[in-house]
Structure 1
Amino acid sequence: MFSLLQTYLLFFFSVIILISFKWIKFRSKTKKNLPPSPPKLPIIGNLHQLGSIPHHSLRALSEKHGPLMLMHFGSVPMLVASSAEAAKEIMKTHDLKFANRPKIRIPDTIIYGSSDITFSPYGEHWRQAKSIAVIHLLNSQRVQSFREVRENEIGVMINTITQSHDSLIDLSELIFLHVNNIVCRVTLGRSYQGLKFNELLENFVNVLGALCVGNFIPRLSWIDRLSGLEDRASKVAKEFDEFLEGVVEEHLDKRRKEGDKKDADQDFVDILLDIQRDDAIGFALQRDTIKAIILDVFAAGTDTTYASLVWSISELIRHPRVMKKLQQEVAEVAQRRHMIYENDLEKMEYLKATIKETLRLYPPLPLLIPRESMQDVKLMEYDIPAGTQTIVNAWAIGRDPTLWEEPDEFRPERFLNGSIDYKGLHFELLPFGAGRRGCPGIQFAVVMYELVLANVIYKFNLSLPNGAEGKDLDMSVKNSITLHKKSPLLVTATSRF
């Protein structure tokens, strides 16, 4: 018979074995198979590895650690996707689970608590705001209704370039001015010009793209105050709110004096005020939400379209063969008419290929807008915890040598005999994102892009100052949320006809 001591020992070891099995089982269930991570530093994590041009730095890291990396920006886990397969998993297979936006301080400050479409967290407010944009503002019929505005402004731009009489012009500034005029007239009802207005928009974009330390390391948020970032954001918010408030009041005053506009004459502010008055969507459309949506469409429509046009024309100057081929196409379609019109664009396959190639090499938002996982998810065999912020490096995907032959070469022909497009169905080309959080204004932006590019190339031969060749053109990028060419595009424009 067992002694009392032996009985106690047997019981003790049995309990130990049972606890050990339970612990092993628990560990096997809770241990996460996380994506590979670069080594991190205390407190700041991997923030120091972002570098001055984050989409470049992140691609270099992905080449070492893989197309799906888990980094840590301060205390914030950040999933970085750098392949078409990873992007598809996030934006299609698990789109709903990654449909949220993280809480980001600067958009919260300057865009009415992130009550717009782009930065709004996933939920009923975002669904209603996006539905307003898709159904009432950016549908095909509405975009088409502003055709006269676009063609009129482009006609003015052509005349301005013609009157330069072969002298040096800042084509970057001129394109910005006329793209901005189109967007202002469509969204706000009239053009707004002047140095103060241009600076306001530039400050908005610069602040939006600035690194906010407090987002990632709350205990160091004093750095954002010390650097002046918080004050700059507050100033931009105040100035833009005063401007937009004035626009809304101007529209309301006209309604009181002249009555409602006809549908064909309405701009976006008119449409939103109608929705608010009629309660047409079963959703209380607040004044700040109206201003947030307008700011979204206005700022994004101007900044991204203007940036992409500058990249296209710069690459065409650098590649005379491509320029000549595109000029031949637009000339054949135009038949020596005064300008290219919108119904001509559908016949221009090489123009469309040129634009796709530009968007491949220079996606307007190279890292898109961050997402956030709303629940635990299995992604490419890795476990991604809920609350993980996620960025997709669209710039790296567009230059992936496993997807593109000679990926750093500007060669529009690669798009002539294929079906790849930029509308969110092909994950090797993602300039506007995809899935629920994809850009709803693709058609609105692209028709401006096509029309401006076609007309500039049709009407003018462009050359660099002082006899410089295309290969000498500075193509370095500016560190911003939008991918901008760092130096302005200075050219001499000679009429072709």
Structure 2
Amino acid sequence: MGDQVQEKEEEAHSVTGWAAWLSTVVLLGFALLWLRRQGNLLHRLPPGPLGLPFLGYLPWIDSLAPYETFANLGRRYGPIYSLKLGDMLAVFISDPQLIRQAFSRPVFSGRAPLYLTHGIMKGHGLICAEGESWREHRRFVMNVMKQLGMAGRQGASLMESRVMDRVLEFIQGLKCDQMKSTGEEEGVDLVPGLRHCIGNIINGVVFGRTYAADDPTWIWLQHLLDEGVKQVAVAGPINFLPVLRFLPKYRHIMSFILDGQSETHRHYQEIIDQRQLNLFNNADNNQDYTSVVDAYLLEMKRRRQFNGDDDVGTFTIIQLYHVLADLFGAGTDTALTTIKWIVLYMILYPDVQSRIHEEIDRVLLVGDGQLDQGRIPCFATDAERMPWTEATICEVQRIKTILPLGVPHGTLDDCELAGYLIPKGAMVVPVWWAMNRDATLWPEPLEFRPERFLIVDQQNHEEENDVKKWTFFKPDHFMPFQSGRRMCIGDDLGRTLIFLFTVTLLQHFRLSFPPKFKDYEQGKFPQPDYGFTLVPHPFPVALHPR
């Protein structure tokens, strides 16, 4: 009896041993197949540096100037390369043809699953959205912008009048401040006035209202925008390592972002309630709108009437909050930052400033030639007559790319680019900083030379100093408002706003640094601040009336 038990135990152990061995072989087989697949996948990915487990390449990124890190990697690995940021695969592109090719394709029109865009914003709005919600809202906002006068240089008089009202308010404010202070000796800070006036242009378009300069709510909204841009930059690692949000440093940032979002949404609801009263109290006026808020509310009403059962599809109140925030934040910050850089470069290059002064005088002066009789500029008719001004604006946008890494895209499915595999869910980053400083595209790229955007008009060229000899020219590889299906919606408004503020400021003043300000001495360029945009180190401006 004991022998039989022993035999059965040995038989059971034998079966168990074979089962364990077979399981091990199967597991090893699956492991080898997985490793082979991973090897094939890695072999087909764009080249790039290795990183650490869980962290990827994050430890080697310059936190103050990440765009420099990625530009340097592009010089090492080529115009398209890949690396890991945490567990996320990121593909970086610094070739303009590849950028145009990729971003024109629907598969590249998504957003990478970053924590801030997907975890906090939940894919709402315009910047963070993708798929049908993004397509519907982009198409809707572009149509609204056209109706409000932002359909290019033709028929844009309504929008130009809105902009010029604020430009003239800004200039008048500078003149009043100059009368009250030493002006030229101590200099003035242009930023508060610029932020107020540019912000109110965007407020009028987006919300259908403006604010007084001393309005407490407006002061708070401006502070929130200014700080939010900085905090999002500091919070960048959370996108790839969400667990960091529990650390004290990042917990404070997350509280700032979430609390600010909650408070702005509450304020937006107050605006929405007021606009609804204005819109729907008069039944005959339901098709008229003067802002994005009005148009959105009318679209929601139309959808309810058409679909019934309160069905508005993707046009929800939560979505409206985020659309408003995106349009206000992006529109105000990018235009303000660009003008800051233009003013700085006018001071650093007084010879270029003088050329623009000459051009302004030639185009805008009327009557007996007195400057105070010069007419106000008009983007639709004057921009093409002022090639040096246009070229200078573009050269500033090139040499100090305000969005050095653009807004990252995401792939909606597995795809190929330049012969490489780009997996679904990869983050695709255009390195505009590298493209705008590529010596093969821009000879002597670190030199500030507006002439890059000018060609000689042989038909009008009579002598060396002929003011009519230049024609503005924009190369295909210059894309200051991004490219493809997700390029900037407000590019026409942005061009108009930047041109009119620049020309009107230089029409009335010559700009310089105050005598005691030495931060930008020759050969010394302070590190710009990098958040959502690349912002110059603060500087005062001495205003010399012309």
Please state which band the TM-score falls in when normalised by the shorter chain.
0.7 to 0.9
Rounded Cα–Cα distance in structure 2 between residues aligned with 1:256 and 1:263: 10
The answer for the alignment partner of 1:357 in structure 2 is 395
Rounded Cα–Cα distance in structure 2 between residues aligned with 1:347 and 1:262: 41
The answer for the alignment partner of 1:459 in structure 2 is 508
Rounded Cα–Cα distance in structure 2 between residues aligned with 1:452 and 1:345: 13
The answer for the alignment partner of 1:320 in structure 2 is 350
The answer to whether the 8 Å contact 1:340/1:455 transfers is: yes
Out of 87, 99, 119, the residue aligned to residue 128 of structure 2 is 119
Rounded Cα–Cα distance in structure 1 between residues aligned with 2:439 and 2:219: 43
Q: Is 1:278 aligned with 2:302?
A: yes
Letter of the 2:413 counterpart: Q
Rounded Cα–Cα distance in structure 2 between residues aligned with 1:49 and 1:83: 23
1:191-215: per-residue Cα shift (whole Å, max 9, x none)? Answer: 2344322112223323333334343
Identity %: 23
Rounded Cα–Cα distance in structure 2 between residues aligned with 1:328 and 1:263: 46
The answer to whether the 8 Å contact 2:149/2:159 transfers is: no
Cα gap change, 1:247 to 1:41, in 2 (>3 Å): same
Out of 426, 431, 443, the residue aligned to residue 393 of structure 1 is 431
Superposed displacement of residue 386, structure 1: 2.1
Q: In terms of Rg, which structure is larger?
A: 2
Q: Is 1:156 aligned with 2:161?
A: no
Out of 107, 121, 124, the residue aligned to residue 97 of structure 1 is 107
Cα gap change, 1:319 to 1:226, in 2 (>3 Å): closer
Q: Is 1:106 aligned with 2:125?
A: no
The answer for the alignment partner of 1:450 in structure 2 is 499
- Secondary structure at the residue paired with 1:209? helix
Superposed displacement of residue 89, structure 1: 3.5
Superposed displacement of residue 220, structure 1: 4.5
Rounded Cα–Cα distance in structure 1 between residues aligned with 2:100 and 2:248: 35
The answer to whether the 8 Å contact 2:244/2:250 transfers is: no
Cα gap change, 1:109 to 1:465, in 2 (>3 Å): farther
The answer to whether the 8 Å contact 1:140/1:443 transfers is: no
Cα gap change, 1:106 to 1:100, in 2 (>3 Å): same
Q: Is 1:292 aligned with 2:342?
A: no
Q: 1:42-61 to 2 correspondence within 5 Å? A: 42-51=53-62, 52-61=64-73
Q: Is 1:333 aligned with 2:333?
A: no
Out of 473, 476, 481, the residue aligned to residue 532 of structure 2 is 481
The answer to whether the 8 Å contact 1:357/1:410 transfers is: yes
Rounded Cα–Cα distance in structure 1 between residues aligned with 2:221 and 2:245: 30
Letter of the 2:99 counterpart: A
Superposed displacement of residue 149, structure 1: 1.7
Rounded Cα–Cα distance in structure 1 between residues aligned with 2:424 and 2:43: 12
Cα gap change, 1:261 to 1:315, in 2 (>3 Å): farther
1:344-398: per-residue Cα shift (whole Å, max 9, x none)? Answer: 3332222111111111122232111111122222322322222211111111110
Out of 271, 275, 293, the residue aligned to residue 251 of structure 1 is 275
Rounded Cα–Cα distance in structure 2 between residues aligned with 1:105 and 1:229: 14
Out of 417, 435, 440, the residue aligned to residue 379 of structure 1 is 417
Structure 1 segments unaligned to the other structure (5+ residues): 1-18
The answer to whether the 8 Å contact 1:107/1:208 transfers is: no
1:462-494: per-residue Cα shift (whole Å, max 9, x none)? Answer: 11112658645745310201111132x311112
Cα gap change, 1:226 to 1:440, in 2 (>3 Å): closer
Q: Is 1:67 aligned with 2:97?
A: no
Superposed displacement of residue 406, structure 1: 0.9
CA RMSD of aligned residues (A): 2.8
Higher mean displacement: 253-262 or 170-179? 253-262
- Secondary structure at the residue paired with 2:83? strand
Superposed displacement of residue 303, structure 1: 0.3
Rounded Cα–Cα distance in structure 2 between residues aligned with 1:420 and 1:82: 22
Superposed displacement of residue 262, structure 1: 8.5
The answer to whether the 8 Å contact 2:148/2:159 transfers is: no
Cα gap change, 1:433 to 1:446, in 2 (>3 Å): same
Letter of the 1:324 counterpart: S
- Secondary structure at the residue paired with 1:401? coil
The answer to whether the 8 Å contact 1:363/1:483 transfers is: yes
Out of 488, 491, 497, the residue aligned to residue 541 of structure 2 is 491
Length, aligned pairs only: 465
Letter of the 1:44 counterpart: L
1:73-97: per-residue Cα shift (whole Å, max 9, x none)? Answer: 11111111122243234224xx222
The answer for the alignment partner of 2:100 in structure 1 is 88
The answer to whether the 8 Å contact 1:214/1:222 transfers is: no
The answer for the alignment partner of 2:465 in structure 1 is none
Higher mean displacement: 470-479 or 433-442? 470-479
Q: What's the TM-score once normalised by structure 2's chain length?
A: 0.78
Cα gap change, 1:420 to 1:338, in 2 (>3 Å): closer
- Secondary structure at the residue paired with 1:490? coil
The answer for the alignment partner of 1:432 in structure 2 is 481
Higher mean displacement: 132-141 or 434-443? 132-141
Rounded Cα–Cα distance in structure 2 between residues aligned with 1:269 and 1:135: 13
The answer to whether the 8 Å contact 1:67/1:83 transfers is: yes
Cα gap change, 1:105 to 1:31, in 2 (>3 Å): closer
Rounded Cα–Cα distance in structure 1 between residues aligned with 2:384 and 2:147: 18
Out of 62, 65, 77, the residue aligned to residue 89 of structure 2 is 77
Cα gap change, 1:179 to 1:328, in 2 (>3 Å): same
Higher mean displacement: 311-320 or 335-344? 335-344
Q: What's the TM-score once normalised by structure 1's chain length?
A: 0.86
Letter of the 2:205 counterpart: V
- Secondary structure at the residue paired with 2:339? helix
Rounded Cα–Cα distance in structure 2 between residues aligned with 1:255 and 1:375: 42
Superposed displacement of residue 218, structure 1: 4.3
Superposed displacement of residue 36, structure 1: 1.9
The answer to whether the 8 Å contact 1:154/1:178 transfers is: yes
Rounded Cα–Cα distance in structure 1 between residues aligned with 2:385 and 2:306: 38
Q: Is 1:172 aligned with 2:191?
A: yes
The answer for the alignment partner of 2:26 in structure 1 is none
